[in-house]
Amino acid sequence: MTTTCKDCVVDFNTPPPEGLAKNRNLGLVVAGVIGGGALLLSAICVPFVTPALRKICLPYVPATTSQVENVIKALKGRKGTLVDLGSGDGRIVLEAAKVGFKSTGVELNPWLVMYSKFQAFRSGISSMASFHRRDIWKTDLSKFDNVVIFGVDSMMKDLEVKCSQEMHDKSVIAACRFSFPNRIPHSQVGEGIDAVWLYDNSLSAPLSTNSDTLISNGSASQKIISNRKV
Ligand SMILES: C[S@@+](CC[C@H](N)C(=O)[O-])C[C@H]1O[C@@H](n2cnc3c(N)ncnc32)[C@H](O)[C@@H]1O
């Protein structure tokens, strides 16, 4: 009996054989790397997933190349400040900055904000393109001459009201893919998923849906439309 007890004490105080100790350290390193990797992956993924949990689900779907071109065409002849509401990877803001708009992107996803800032820096247009981690609904639209939105249908009614309340009379809104439910657009560029509608904010009051008196800005690539369902 005494011998067994003594053996036990000796067992606990004796360092494990060298090979076993090395394996244990390796195990800890592997667990640390996997745990750290999983944490990093979650930190990256969470901002892309959380839009699905918000009241208005506005996920990250980047604009197509023709959508970006259509925004620039729709805004042809205009100048001043511009904001893209939910700027994603910054592609619309960056293109707008390249054609002379003092452009701003507001975006909730911190990774996309970081990436956009990096792209602006890389293109040497940081002075014309800035990006902020900010909520669309908490963004004051009064200081912008041009507002761009590539949103979802379910948000357009609320956004229409926000634009009417905050934007000044000479400002315009370029809506990509989804149009406003009550307003008549000034012009439309493109069709289908690449369609962009331009709204003149001085005509912010909902107009009759069968009006034929809309004005085109004269660009050959834009057409006059008589109501929003084209
Ligand atoms: C459809 S994507 C449009 C991206 C970009 N404008 C483009 O055209 O490529 C919408 C973006 O809005 C962002 N977003 C969603 N809810 C937002 C909110 N409340 N405030 C700011 N950004 C938001 C999403 O993270 C996503 O990047």
The strand pairing partners of 84, in sequence order, are 105, 148
The strand pairing partners of 172, in sequence order, are 146, 200
Please give the number of the atom of ligand 1 that sits closest to the Cα of 84.
Answer: 6
Strands 196-200 and 129-133: unpaired
Instruction: Output the pLDDT for position 200.
Output: 94
Instruction: Output the pLDDT for position 75.
Output: 98
Ligand 1 site, residue 47, Cβ cutoff 6 A: no
Q: How far apart are CA 126 and CA 136, in angstroms?
A: 21
Ligand 1 pocket check: which of 107, 112, 156, 176 to mutate, most ligand atoms within 8 Å of Cβ? 107
Instruction: Output the pLDDT for position 71.
Output: 98
How many degrees, rounded to 5, is the angle at CA 143 between CA 182 and CA 146?
Answer: 50
Ligand 1 site, residue 153, Cβ cutoff 6 A: no
Cα(2) to ligand 1 centroid in Å equals 74
How do the domains of the chain map onto residue ranges?
2-53, 65-203
Which segments of the chain have a pLDDT < 70? 1-12, 49, 52-53, 204-230
Tokens of 103: 């452009």
Instruction: Output the pLDDT for position 17.
Output: 75
CATH number of the domain at 65-203, please? Answer: 3.40.50.150
Ligand 1 site, residue 93, Cβ cutoff 6 A: no
Instruction: Output the pLDDT for position 27.
Output: 86
Ligand 1 site, residue 175, Cβ cutoff 6 A: no
- Residue of the CA atom closest to atom 1 of ligand 1: 61
Tell me the per-residue pLDDT of 32-59, one tens digit each, with 9 for 90 and over.
888 888 888 777 777 776 776 677 889 9
Instruction: Output the pLDDT for position 107.
Output: 97
Find all residues with CB under 8 Å of 151, minimum gap 6, and list them.
58, 85, 86, 159, 175, 176, 178
